[in-house]
Amino acid sequence: MKRVFNLIIITFIATLSIFCPTESVSSNETIPFNETIPFNESIPSVPPPSGICLKSQVVANGTQIKTGGNPNGWCSSVIQGQIPTNEFMVSTLIIKPKDGSIVPANQNFTLSIKIINLQTGYFADPDTEYYTQPQELNEEGIIKGHSHVVIQKLTDEDEEVVPNPNILAFFRGLNDPADDRGILETEVGTDTEPGLPTGRYRVCTMASTYTHQPVVMPIAPRGSQDDCIRFIVIG
């Protein structure tokens, strides 16, 4: 009987070693698709790769990784972190420009959003701290983070053509704290490249945690954390 019990224990431990591996990827290991991306041991909050992350081989290291055609993508072992109650879920509204509005071509314009239940102004360095820390709540139970705005040009010929997420007309992280009304603003265009050329556009928000993960909400049946509108630029 004792031998049978010992055999069961040995089999159980062996099974755990198969399904829950703990070894990490070597910092000198050559990653598939000719891309070597070492694990960044200088960031203590990033756990070493284990389990499913060993399948991806390319592991989070605090940078924004582009793995090209790698079907396994890249993997982060960072836990989701603190999740707010349903009373403090993030919600956003684009208030300027209005949906369906007309904007003059090649002229700078203001893009404004209003957001609730996000303590804005928490913005980690996206070059060294990307996806490195779990979501965190403040003392009131509200997520610490920031938002982004992104504008993409839509095709004029077919309204059902989905925009390529790699092609952007404008992108900006809203790093600063919102004002007392929860409003964040940025100017689209510069002195050398004012505004946008003629065309149909979609602008969306992207609410994020301190280290840029999309905010994690407590329940599925809820309003969206982000907003999108469409507008036309005419010259």
- Who has greater pLDDT, 150 or 6? 150
Name the domain count of the chain. 2
Of 60, 81, 77, 79, the residue nearest 129 (C-alpha): 60
Residue with tokens 């090209």: 68
Reduced 3-state DSSP string for the chain:
CHHHHHHHHHHHHHHHHHHCCCCCCCCCCCCCCCCCCCCCCCCCCCCCCCCCHHHHCCECCECCCCCCCCCCCCECCCCCECCCCHHHCCEEEEEECCCCCEEECCCCEEEEEEEECEECCCCCCCCCCECCCCECECCCCCEEEEEEEEEEEECCCCCCCCCCCCCCCEEEEECCCCCCCCEEEEEEECCCCECCCCEEEEEEEEEEECCCCECCCCCCCCCCCCCEEEEEEEC
Domain boundary among 56, 77, 100: 56
Residue with tokens 């509200």: 142
- pLDDT higher for 58 or 113? 113
Residue 65 within any structural domain of the chain: no
CATH assignment at residue 144:
2.60.40.10
Give the pLDDT confidence score for residue 5 in this predicted structure.
Answer: 44
Bridge partners (DSSP) of residue 59 are: 75
Q: Are 123 and 147 in contact (CB under 8 A)?
A: no
Contact (Cβ atoms closer than 8 angstroms) between residue 60 and residue 74: yes
Distances (CA, A) of 194 to 24, 72, 110, 197: 48, 40, 12, 9
Q: For residues 76 and 41, which has the higher predicted lDDT (pLDDT)?
A: 76
Token pair recorded at residue 53: 């992350």
Whether the predicted pLDDT of 49 surpasses 80: no
The answer to whether residues 73 and 208 touch, using CB atoms and an 8 Å cutoff, is no
Average pLDDT over the chain, rounded to an integer: 82
Tell me: do 45 and 152 sit in the same domain.
no
Contacts of 218 (CB under 8 A, 6+ apart): 83, 84, 85, 86, 89
Q: Looking at the structure, tell me whether residues 41 and 120 fall in a common domain.
A: no
> Does residue 35 sit in the same domain as residue 91?
no
pLDDT at 144 over 80: yes
What is the structure's pLDDT at 48? 61
pLDDT tens by residue, 76-129: 888 999 999 999 999 999 999 999 999 999 999 999 999 999 999 999 999 999
Q: Are 119 and 42 in the same domain?
A: no
Question: Are 98 and 197 in the same domain?
Answer: yes
- Higher-scoring residue by pLDDT: 127, 158: 127
C-beta separation of 146 from 205 below 8 A: no
57 or 125, higher pLDDT: 125
Q: What is the domain extent for residue 10?
A: 2-56
Question: Residues of the chain with pLDDT > 90: what percent?
Answer: 65
pLDDT in tens, 185-226: 999 999 999 999 999 999 999 999 999 999 999 999 999 999
Confidence of residue 74 (pLDDT cuts 50, 70, 90): confident
130 and 46 housed in the same domain: no
Residue 36 lies in a domain: yes
Q: Give me the pLDDT at residue 30, please.
A: 30
Looking at residue 198, its pLDDT comes to 96
The per-residue pLDDT for 75 is: 86
Query: Do both 142 and 28 map to the same domain?
Result: no
Looking at residue 29, what is its pLDDT? 33
